[in-house]
Amino acid sequence: MSFWRDGRPTTPVVLLVGARQTRHLADVLSSALGQRDAAGPLQLSYDPREGPMLFSARVVTVNPESPGNAAALPVLPREAARTTAVFPGLSGARGDASEAFRVNAGAFNPHDGPAELIFGLYDGDGTELGTFTRTLGPGGWLQVNDVFREVGAGAAGTEGARLAFSSSLPVFPFVIAVDDRSGDGTFVAPRDVPLLP
């Protein structure tokens, strides 16, 4: 297991897991990888000659005043990288201020070359609310906090909002809707972009 920081993997940590054994690593970035106050992708690998492995991941924001439930994150194989995706169901993320929700989006580039990323935010009727682009270096990771604010879209007119994504190389895009009151994040799974007839 290794952690990608500044476009480079950290020194890998090797764990020995016996047959039918389960290993739980609390605060894995700090406890196993020595990375404090860090965020980014974890890369997991194993020797398939010893049999299959199951991996799971969860993120928690520690907020003693408003404890939450955390969010489960998918553990994806390398072949799940993609060049296009759509993230539907972002309605309600920018309601009145008392709701305190935001939508974060980003990607991880597993390649040795840079990837050009385009994010487009659309209302339910197809109106473009705005776009933004990023260049993601080799092994790079990024997260854009509050994509509605990034494109200058207010709360009005976002019913049925969706985020469209495209990249020059297959990468791992993600969207997380965050409840700022508890810190809970909800992972929004990427969907294939529908093909027009």
pLDDT at 185 over 70: yes
> In whole angstroms, how far apart are CA 31 and each of 22, 133, 150?
17, 34, 34
pLDDT at 98 over 50: no
Contact 35, 10 (CB under 8 A): yes
pLDDT at 96 over 70: no
- Annotated domain spans of the chain: 1-55, 78-188
Summarize pLDDT for 118-150 with one digit per residue, the tens: 999 998 888 899 999 999 999 899 999 999 889
Question: Any idea which architecture 78-188 has in CATH?
Answer: Sandwich (2.60)
For residue 85, give the nearest of 185, 173, 195 by alpha carbon. 173
